[in-house]
Amino acid sequence: MAAEPARHGLYRCTDAVGRITVAAVSQIGYACALFFESLYWLFAGPRRRQPVSLSATALEMMKIGVQAIPITAILSLSVGIMIAIQGIYTLRDFGAEARVVDAIAMSITREFGALITAFLVAGRSGSAITAQLGSMRISQEIDALQVMGINPVRYLVAPLLIAMLVMLPCLTVLADVMGILGGGLFCGYELNMDIQSYIQRSLDVLNANDITQGLLKSAVFAVLITLVGVINGFAVTGGASGVGKATTHSVVAAISAIIIADMIFTFFLNR
Amino acid sequence: MSTQTSPVAPVIEVRDLVTHYGTRQILHGINLTVQPGEIMVIMGSSGSGKTTLLNHMLGLSRPSSGQILLLGHDIGIMSGSELNDLRKQIGVTFQGGALFSSMTVGENVQLPLREHTQLDENTIQIMTRMKLEIVNLAGFEHFMPSELSGGMAKRAAVARAIAMDPKLLFFDEPSAGLDPVVSAGLDELILRLRRAMNITIVVVTHELQSAFKIADRITMLDHGQVVMTGTVDEVRAAKDKHMQHLFNRLLEEVPVDADEYLQRLTEAIE
């Protein structure tokens, strides 16, 4: 009898691991299917007389991108200042404070611009996507679309995905500019550097690869935020509390996915 | 409605439909036919499987086995785009209305027209008003769904369901959440729609009164099986004890097996 609970525990553990693995793989498969179906509607929709709505896409662009401009600007400015403070403090030991300009320019464009923007949009729009689709699911609005012969992926997901893919890189460019500017403000104050030479120095150290690396990542983040938001929204069950739970889960999952994807991409892009 | 003897192709044909929810079997081989122009009411108490049956007839779930033919097409073997084309000829009014909360009533009614037709703006506006007239909601096109009462939201949902002049119309629990007067008004609307447009209508409900009022034929479901199908008079006259239970809304007494009862209570307890 003594061996029984142990085997039982192992059995349960294996069972749980198996189930989680199957669920994860099926979620990834579902996400890929959603992604390709959205692309399919984008290109094949007009031929089948069911185009992806331009006005819906523009509306989502407003909500995801344009309305996020002020907060993106403020946050990336703050991050720029923060990196300048930390950079100057660290480099002071080597007497190389002036090199902080390189550090700011590189880290903002390659990493922080895209990352900060993605976090912000995941919190702002990823959660909104889940909440909206989730409440549509529980009030049967998604079923209603389906029985009207309107494909929910074409009507709801494709505009979101396009809007996100356009706006997230745009916001990232804004974040890059504002972040570098923030660093410049602090350097000007702390190191008595004039802003013109700061900008000149930044432009000298940056090359196209730094910028494209950030933008490429932001496009990947855009897909991740949209798909995580959509999957969690479509999967809502259990009324209003279900929507709340799904929204929380969506933000946490999106941010986790962003960080892990960032690590993987950074690894491969810098080989 | 006279009983149809001529071999007219049925609008809906459900053949040996078996469905599962997880491992639990919900429907046990349902057979059902709905003739053109008739109002078929599917009745049953909660848990009888009537909502599941409806979801399958709408093509929202996939059955374990069996066939469903809508307007002569087997929806199990249709491709996505064929199914979408078929759905243009079918209207559905969901239990809560399922109006899109981000659009006005008018935009809700217009949505199928905008998505599926190439009509010009004026025609769409006129058609929207016509449909809203039919359901007595003229002048409400600029209201948001949240500003409507329960009964009005349902009538707006009917207007949206008939926007494409469907051949087949489904109602899910039309009287749910409505007071008797409003609910009776909705029954009238269903009858009027059939008279005016000669649509085939399937209503899923647990309301006996409304079923007797609108139905040509009634299908009684219980525990995932068809108990009987017949005209209103036939169903009324049914002497089956089980049917009488359903009618009189008596609590069905489940015989208690002492051993099973103890087994349930002590299960997994050491």
Partner residue facing A140 (CB), from B80, B87, B96: B96
Give the mean pLDDT of A214-231.
Answer: 94
Q: How far is A258 from chain B (nearest CA, A)?
A: 30
Best A55, A148, A156 residue to mutate vs chain B (most B CBs within 10 Å): A148
- Residue in this structure with the two tokens 């087949």, named with its chain if needed: B168
What is the percent of chain B where pLDDT is above 70? 91
pLDDT exceeds 90 at position B242: no
Q: Give the nearest partner residue to B98 out of A48, A144, A150, using CB atoms.
A: A144
- Residues 168-187, chain A: which have Cβ within 8 Å of B? none
pTM (two decimals)? 0.84
Q: Quote the pLDDT of residue A192.
A: 84
Minimal CA separation from B235 to chain A, in Å: 31
Chain B residues with beta carbon closer than 8 angstroms to that of A50: 115
User: Which range (A62-76, B142-156, B235-249) has the least confidence?
Assistant: B235-249
Nearest CA distance, A140 vs chain B (angstrom): 5
List strands edge to edge, sheet with B168-172: B90-93, B168-172, B200-205, B39-43, B217-222, B225-231
Amino acid, res. B202: V
Q: What is the pLDDT of residue B252?
A: 55
- Helices A100-107/A158-191 angle, 10° precision: 170
Integer angstrom CA distances of residue B223 from B49, B95, B228: 7, 21, 13
Given CA atoms B238, B240, B243, B247 in this order, what sign does their dihedral have? positive
- Whether residues B87 and A149 touch (CB distance < 8 A) is answered with yes
Cα–Cα distance between B85 and B90 in angstroms, integer?
10
Query: What distances in angstroms separate CA B111 from CA A148, A200, B114, B164, B230, one per listed residue?
Result: 9, 54, 5, 10, 37
Q: Please choose, from the candidates A32, A47, A77, A66, the residue with its C-alpha nearest in 3D space to the C-alpha of residue A175.
A: A77
For the segment A120-141, what is each residue's pLDDT rounded down to a tens digit? 999 999 999 999 999 999 999 9
Interface test with A, best of B84, B86, B107, B117 (most A CBs within 10 A): B84
Q: Confirm or reject contact between B90 and chain A (CB < 8 A).
A: yes
Tally Cβ neighbours within 10 Å of residue B263.
10
What does the block give as tokens for A14? 């294996």
pLDDT at A270: 80
Token readout for A88 is: 């100057």
Summarize pLDDT for A65-88 with one digit per residue, the tens. 999 999 999 999 999 999 999 998
- A143 in contact with B at a CB cutoff of 8 Å? yes
Q: Which of B69, B59, B11 is nearest to B35 (CA)?
A: B11
Q: Which residues pair with B219 in a beta bridge?
A: B42, B229
CB contact under 8 A, B98 and A48: no
**B112/A148 CB distance under 8 A:** yes
In chain B, beta strands by DSSP E: 12-21, 24-34, 39-43, 65-70, 73-74, 90-93, 168-172, 200-205, 217-222, 225-231
Q: Quick one: tokens of B110?
A: 């217009």
Task: State the pairing for strand pair B168-172/B225-231.
Answer: unpaired
On the CB side of A94, CA atoms within 13 Å amount to 9
pLDDT of residue B239: 65
Binned at pLDDT 50, 70 and 90, residue A2 comes out as: very low
The yes-or-no verdict on residue A163 having pLDDT over 70 is: yes
- CA dist A251 and A249 (Å) reads 6
Judged by average pLDDT, the poorest of A148-162, B90-104, B227-241 is B227-241
Structure tokens at B122: 């004026």
Instruction: Pick the residue from chain A with its C-alpha nearest to B170.
Output: A147
Give the tens place of pLDDT for each residue, B46-57.
778 888 899 999
CB contact under 8 A, B92 and A147: yes
Residue A252, pLDDT above cutoff 80: yes
Query: What is the model's pLDDT at position A133?
Result: 94
pLDDT above 80 (res B248): no
pLDDT at position A21 is 93
What are the beta bridge partners of residue B12?
A: B34, B70
- The owner of tokens 């090199």 is A99
**Which amino acid, one-letter code, is at B258?**
A
Q: Which of B84, B94, B116 sits opposite A144 (nearest CB)?
A: B94
Query: Beta strands B90-93 and B168-172: pairing type?
Result: parallel
B112 touches chain A (CB under 8 A): yes
Cβ <8 Å between A143 and B99: no
pLDDT in tens, A5-49: 556 788 889 889 999 999 889 989 999 999 998 888 888 888 877
Three-state DSSP state, B60: coil
Among B82, B115, B131, the strongest candidate for a mutation testing the A interface, having the largest count of A CBs within 10 A, is B115
Instruction: Kindly calculate the radius of gyration of chain B based on its CA atoms and give it in whole angstroms.
Output: 20
Are B25 and B19 a contacting pair, CB within 8 Å? Answer: yes
pLDDT at B5: 47
pLDDT tens column, B167-200: 999 999 888 888 888 888 889 999 998 888 889 9
User: Which tens digits make up the pLDDT trace of B89-143?
Assistant: 999 999 888 899 989 999 999 999 988 888 899 999 999 999 999 888 888 989 9
End-to-end CA distance of chain B: 62
**% chain B with pLDDT above 90:** 27
Q: Which of A141, A145, A153, A160 to mutate to test the interface with B (most CBs of B within 10 A)?
A: A141
Q: Name beta bridge partners: B201.
A: B39, B169
Residues 6+ apart with CB under 8 A from B90: A147, B58, B70, B71, B166, B167, B168, B169, B170
Cα torsion B228, B233, B234, B240: sign: positive
Q: Is the ipTM of this complex over 0.85?
A: no
Structure token pair of residue A74:
């403020």
3-state secondary structure B84-121: HHHHCCEEEECCCCCCCCCCCHHHHHHHHHHHHCCCCH
- Distance in angstroms (rounded) separating the CA atoms of residues A72 and A167: 12
Whether the Cβ atoms of residue A139 and residue A118 lie closer than 8 Å to each other? no
pLDDT of residue A271: 76
Q: Say which amino acid occupies A112.
A: F
In this prediction, residue B4 carries a pLDDT of: 45
